Structure 1
Amino acid sequence: MAISPVTAHATYADDLHLMSHTGGMHPVFRLTPVRGAKRVQATVTGTPALLSWDSAGDEIQAVFASEDVVRVRGNGRLGLCLSVAEAELTPFTGGYFFHDPVAAAYVLTSYETGRRYRVTVLSGSVESEGLQALGHANRRLVIGADQRPWEIAIEEYESGRPPCRSDGTFDGLVLAVAKAFREFVDAVAPWRTGETPAADLAVYLLWSSTVRPTGFLGRPGVLMSKHWMNKVWSWDHCFNALALAPGAPDLAIDQFQLPFDHQDPSGALPDSVTHSEILYNFVKPPIHGWAFGLLRRALPRELTREELDETYRRLAAWTEFWLTTRRAPGSPLPHYQHGNDSGWDNATAFDPERLVESADLPAFLILQLRQVAALAAELSHDADAERWRTAADRLQTDMFALLWRGDHFHTRGVVSGQDWHTDGLLDLMPIVLGAELPNEIADALATRIAAHLTEFGLATERPGSPHYQADGYWRGPIWAPSTILIENGLRRAGHTAPADEISARFRALCERSGFAENFDALTGAGLRDRAYTWTASAYLLLAAAHVARTGPRRSG
């Protein structure tokens, strides 16, 4: 659950809502502060442990007592109206609201979430409207209308549950949640200083977006957002795993492995996973070998042989998918079948054709093949190790021979056989090969990358391009994954100065504009989903590395 003003895709409501992310993103209750029966304006503030509405010194407070229980209280001068978010009850939408005499509570059954929501009045008064109503009706509870102190508990559950007990005081719960967050941020970002002012907020975003195992999520999962991007996509998860690795290793390993739990018989990973659905209509780019190498070095413990063996088998199958089902007859290069497969959904590289051989894909696969070969050798699969190394060498040779054109990479159409070059950053992603690139190719890519660097970071389409769009998704805005991959590749290629500059500008961007899904490359404004975990993870990765390189500065 979450309490948020965001109730649908890019839709902000006047009031906060209790949201459920089980089965999608659905508003359950509208939470409206009232005096008597009249709505009042209130200022909303929050800490990791406590949410508050304040109106002229009168206050309502909320705390998550657990992952499925919210406690809310008022000092008596403000009441709270809980309105069922969907006004109409049909056989397929809305919710049925009734008083449960067994639990001495009010229960909403929600079609959208497939769950029940029980409101237990722990103290104070309650007035109800629309109980057992069908069709269109006002279904609501008003708590504390008589201006006496009050407290309620809101629970999300399945079909049945023992009556709610008020275990623990409200203030005690706030202290416990604050302590839990403090311990988490100290573990994940112990390096934070005054020079990394967004670290606490970045960790909060990861912490608050972590959901318990249920449904198709067999492990604790960090959703990309508690707004509408509330899934685990099969490359986003790698960045969250890397950020969590030093301080929350078990959670980090879970993040890396979660999509692999649903690998199909061909070896493909799903496009995305949630509690209630798994989508296979697209895939995502094979950055997993690159990510696993970094993850393993960041973990504070050695992986067991069983963990290494499992990872080897999964990475090997994922690699075979690209080398078998995604190589057209007669072509040595793998291809994407749509921009969504690359993660760069609408990048200009996909404008001429949808099925393309772009240079980023073999670059990722070369790194993955090297990682799989190293794992095979470590596990004494010597023949396989040699086969993977040979495949990596051959793919690298073919990539340079077929896609490199003097000072840049081209993209080639699978159907037409024609090739083209764009002003998009995607064509420059082979910098991720780092030291494996010949110096002249690394230098040429670094020069072209510099043309994408704005005051705030790397624009995904070069400013000045006729295809540049300020809010064009992958046709201009700054994104976290491209920033991390390019910064890391430049650094491994020996271009440390531009890597340092990219890191500094992206960190400053996050400190100014938060952790949006992406950012306007020329103004720095946050775009689309405004609370995205891979952006927070990218900040943490870059900030931690910066502190490690430079050390904390002394004040004064």
Structure 2
Amino acid sequence: MTVAASGPVFSLRDIPFSYRGSWFGFSPVVAEKTYAEDVHLVSHQTGMHAILRLVPTAETAVSATPHQLTWSGGGGRIDLAYESADTVRVRGRGLGLRLLAADPVLTPFSGPYFYRDPVDGSYVFTVYQTGRRYRITLLGGQADPLGAQALGGAERGLVLGGEWEIAIEEYETARAPYLGGDTFEQVAKAARAEFDAFAAAVAPWRGERTPAAELAAYVLWSATVRPAGFVTRPAVLMSKHWMDKVWSWDHCFNAIALAEGLPGLAWDQFRLPFDHQDAAGALPDSVTHSEILYNFVKPPIHGWALRHLPPAPEVYPLLERWTTFWLEARRAPGRELPHYQHGNDSGWDNATTFDPERVVETADLAAFLVLQLHELARLAPDPGTSARWSAQADRMRDALLAELWDGEKFVARGALSGRTWSSSSLLDLMPIVLGEELPRPVRAALAARIERHLTAFGPATELPGSPHYLDDGYWRGPIWAPSTVLIEDGLRRAGYPDLADEISARFRALCEASGFAENFDARTGEGLRDRAYTWTASAYLHLAAAHERRRRS
């Protein structure tokens, strides 16, 4: 990533080019870990679907900034900019473009149908996979259609050459003919102004000491979609690559990053999973355009997150139901401590904590609930209710220390077997989030163990010397943003600001060097998996903003 006068320049293999509110973007990433040679229009309605291939007629280099995508080569260039969330403008000067269906085969249950609309003369792809239409209106130059009205296997699309300009729209069944009006330069300038305003709101402190802040803001801005399907609010997806959902703990980190500059959007992020809270009070595992999953849940970090958000008393009943779910549906009879039913419930899907058994009482879960019970006490409508929640928080904390602290470390316990064990997972050290609530010897022991996990780039999720450590092992080694933020915050409140500062500095430097990947190789710092992950960008913004506040105070 470099920074030009027009903003950060980034690779489409890492970050898709998109626009706040849009459900589609432009990228060579067409499926999970699948990279095409050409840039594609990729939609995230009803899932991730590559719709159109954009193939220049000469060899080109592609560059992207937050407001404009450009192909250069063959003595000419093609520019693309968003006019609105569902419309882009594309123009060519001395460079042609083949705009083709990504899937050349039309069947009764898949593929695109391509035709010319006799009403306005536009060219339209109607696509089974998204259930949407993609209209191309010629604004200048000439277009030669390929495969219009063809059935079965055929190349479908337009060939544009010379000096030309088009508009591409994603819509449902019908809309008025595209009229345009603004020049391409005006469209691109307006898109830049939209992003600049967003960046100024979420990172007003950005500067030379925070070189990745603007790109982090772009990752959030471009991954935001407008309400549609099951997405009930403006939502920051985890990515506009293949991780195109909102998971019910990821959203908290995005809300925190947005809270100071855009509190309304921040609350939309926090509230979205609660719009789908079930009758038992549980939050869904994930929400996306056409799917809600309840087969797992995610950890109750929401009380912790509320400490970083502006006041909103109306969240009390939502948080109460979510907490009651854990107290009633996830505690075995006679037990004080709640349990996860699988590693997926913890968010640390394959952490070694869950190797011996899957239905487990863990220290991190109890610690998160202690914080959530304290938050309920703070938000309670009356003193009596507040006192009741405070008492429950004290009982949960006392049970955590009595039942899972063995004098040196926290252990996990099988909810069915009753046996206990320890692991080399950073998950077992997450009770540091309780900060000053922990006895001093416990804090000291956790801080010392956290230091053992610390690599040059941040805290590895599995002890690097463990036989179970894997460089690309998901939660068995790589560095993740949420664990980093939670531990940094807990250490600071536990009285270890120097160690917290070091973790913050290493993670910020990691993002500045390696971008905003889903996770990172703890030994090399290489970005892994999905490379445009919003909670990673949010973690960078949160840590950088806090560092700048401390530096200026």
TM range (shorter): over 0.9
Distance between the aligned counterparts of 1:172 and 1:19, measured in 2?
25
Tell me whether 1:190 sits opposite 2:204 in the alignment. yes
In structure 2, what residue type is equivalent to 1:233? Answer: W
- The structural deviation recorded for 1:132 is 1.2
In structure 2, the gaps of 5 or more residues are 1-23
d(CA) in 1 for partners of 2:388 and 2:109? 54
Question: Secondary structure at 2:459's aligned position in 1?
Answer: coil
1:500-541: CA deviations, max 9, x gaps?
A: 000000000000000000000000000000010000000001
After TM superposition, the structure 1 = structure 2 runs for residues 397-416 of structure 1, keeping only pairs within 5 Å, are: 397-416=398-417
Partner of 1:49: 67
Q: Give the CA deviation at 1:167.
A: 2.5
* Counterpart code for 1:468: Y
Structure 1 residue 110 corresponds to structure 2 residue 127: yes
SS in 2 for 1:340: helix
Report 1:474-489 matches (<5 A). 474-489=475-490
Which amino acid counterpart does residue 438 of structure 2 have in structure 1? L
* CA–CA distance in structure 1, aligned partners of residues 26 and 35 of structure 2: 12
Out of 200, 224, 233, the residue aligned to residue 219 of structure 1 is 233
Cα deviation code 1:400-433 (max 9, x no counterpart): 1110011100011112111110110000000000
Matched letter for residue 216 of structure 2: A
Pair 1:98 & 2:115 matched: yes
28, 31, 39: which one aligns with 2:51: 28
Please show how residues 424-435 of structure 1 align to structure 2 within 5 Å: 424-435=425-436
Tell which deviates more after alignment, 490-499 or 99-108: 99-108
Partner of 1:37: none
User: Which residue of 258, 270, 279 corresponds with 2:272?
Assistant: 258
CA distance in 1, matches of 2:27, 2:140: 25
Match of residue 187 from structure 2: 173
With structure 1 as the length reference, what TM-score do the two structures score? 0.94
How many Å separate the matches in 1 of 2:220 and 2:462?
29
Q: CA deviation at 1:104?
A: 1.0
Q: 1:148-547 maps to which residues of 2 (within 5 A)?
A: 149-296=163-310, 303=311, 307-308=312-313, 310-376=314-380, 379=381, 381-547=382-548
The answer to whether structure 1 residue 551 and structure 2 residue 552 are counterparts is: yes
Aligned to 1:67: 85
Corresponding residue to 1:123 among 133, 137, 140: 140
Q: What is the SS of the residue equivalent to 2:453?
A: coil
AA aligned opposite 2:85:
E
Report the CA distance between 1:134 and its aligned residue.
1.4
* Letter aligned with residue 265 of structure 1: A
Letter in 2 for 1:188: V
SS at match of 2:42: strand
SS in 2 for 1:65: strand
- Give the Cα–Cα distance (whole angstroms) in 2 for the partners of residues 167 and 335 of structure 1: 59
Q: Work out the CA distance in 1 between the residues paired with 2:283 and 2:95.
A: 50
Letter in 2 for 1:511: E
State the distance in 2 between where 1:430 and 1:368 align: 13
Alpha-carbon distance in 2 for matches of 1:500, 1:151: 51
Matched to 1:542, the amino acid is L
Cα offset for 1:330? 2.5
Unmatched runs of 5 consecutive residues or more in structure 1: 35-39, 297-302
Does the 8 Å contact 2:252/2:269 carry over to 1? yes
Is this contact kept in 1: 2:69–2:81, CA < 8 A?
A: yes
Name 2:16's counterpart in structure 1. none
**Which whole-Å CA distance do the structure 2 matches of 1:27 and 1:539 have between them?**
30
Shift of 1:468: 0.1
Listed one character per residue, the Cα deviations across residues 413-471 of structure 1 (whole Å, up to 9, x for unaligned) are 11211111011000000000011111110000000000000000000000010000000
After the TM superposition, which residues 7-22 of structure 1 pair with which residues of structure 2 at under 5 Å, given as runs?
Answer: 7-22=30-45
Alpha-carbon distance in structure 2 between the residues aligned to 1:175 and 1:135? 42
CA distance in structure 1 between the aligned counterparts of 2:432 and 2:127, rounded to whole angstroms: 49
In structure 2, C-alpha distance between the alignment counterparts of 1:440 and 1:178, rounded to whole Å = 52
- Structure 1 partner of 2:20: none
Determine helix, strand or coil for the equivalent of 1:258.
helix
- Sequence identity percentage: 63
> Residue 4 of structure 1 is aligned with which of 27, 31, 36?
27
Of residues 506-515 and 157-166 in structure 1, the stretch that sits farther from structure 2 once superposed is: 157-166
Q: Secondary structure at the match of 2:307?
A: helix
Match of 2:10 in 1: none
In the alignment, the residues of structure 2 paired with residue 57 and residue 283 of structure 1 have an alpha-carbon distance, to the nearest angstrom, of: 54
RMSD of equivalent CA atoms: 1.0
Q: Distance in 2 between matches of 1:91 and 1:341?
A: 39
Spell out, residue by residue over 1:181-240, the C-alpha distance to the aligned partner (whole angstroms, 9 max, x if none).
111111110111211000000000001111111111121000000100011110000000
Q: 2:99 aligns with which of 77, 82, 93?
A: 82
CA distance in 2, matches of 1:243, 1:30: 34
C-alpha separation in 1, matches of 2:106 and 2:498: 60
Equivalent position SS for 2:309:
helix
Partners of 2:290 and 2:183 in 1: how far apart? 34
Deviations 1:89-116 (A, max 9, x none): 1121111111111021111111111111
Count of matched residue pairs: 530
The CA distance in 2 between the partners of 1:494 and 1:503, in whole Å, is 15
SS at match of 2:241: coil
Shift of 1:57: 4.0
C-alpha displacement of 1:56: 4.1
Deviations 1:55-94 (A, max 9, x none): 044100000110000110001x211111101121112111
Q: Give the partner amino acid of 1:447.
A: A
Q: Report the CA distance between 1:143 and its aligned residue.
A: 1.3
Task: Report the secondary structure of 1:17's partner residue.
Answer: strand
1:551 Cα deviation after fit: 2.7
How far apart in 2 are the matches of 1:447 and 1:56? 59
Measure, in 2, the Cα distance between the counterparts of 1:467 and 1:353: 16
- What are the Cα deviations for residues 110-152 of structure 1, in whole angstroms up to 9, with x where unaligned? 11111111011111111111111111111121112xx2x1000
- Matching residue's letter, 2:236: V
CA distance in 1, matches of 2:383, 2:231: 35
TM-score w.r.t. structure 2 length? 0.95
